[in-house]
Amino acid sequence: MEYSKHDICLVDFNPAKGGEMGKLRPAIIMSADEDNMILSTVIVIPLSTEIEPNALPYRYTLLARDNLDKDSDACINEIRSLSKNRIKAKLASLTPNEAIVIQKALCDLLG
């Protein structure tokens, strides 16, 4: 399967442990394209349809588009590394502006 940084893909997060996000849900691929080609894992930010307005740097709302059927929050504080085998299908992509906002929020969270 081909995917790139900032693609929104359907990802299987099960099994989840503790307070981790689970189930089949969209997620943003955040790892670099070069890493995606050589590593067996990708770094993703899961999405949730539970919208929490004005929650940066923890969450950022994305509007529905392409095969992303519902408005969703990027749960930036839930960033994870997962096996590529968990990626099921590409749904959409971030706009350049969305990518900048999410990248900055992630940097703010990591200090």
Helix H or strand E encompassing 99: helix 96-110
DSSP label at residue 1: -
- Going along the chain from its start, the domains and CATH numbers come out as 7-110 (2.30.30.110)
Which string of DSSP letters, residue by residue, matches 11-44?
EE-PSP-TT---SEEEEEE-S-HHHHHH-SEEEE
- The pLDDT assigned to 27 comes to 98
CA 103 to chain centre: 11
What pLDDT sits at residue 15? Answer: 77
Instruction: Provide CB contacts within 8 A for 17, sequence distance 6+.
Output: none
Give this prediction's pTM: 0.94
What local confidence, expressed as pLDDT, does residue 16 receive? Answer: 73
Q: Which residue ranges of the chain lie beneath pLDDT 50?
A: none
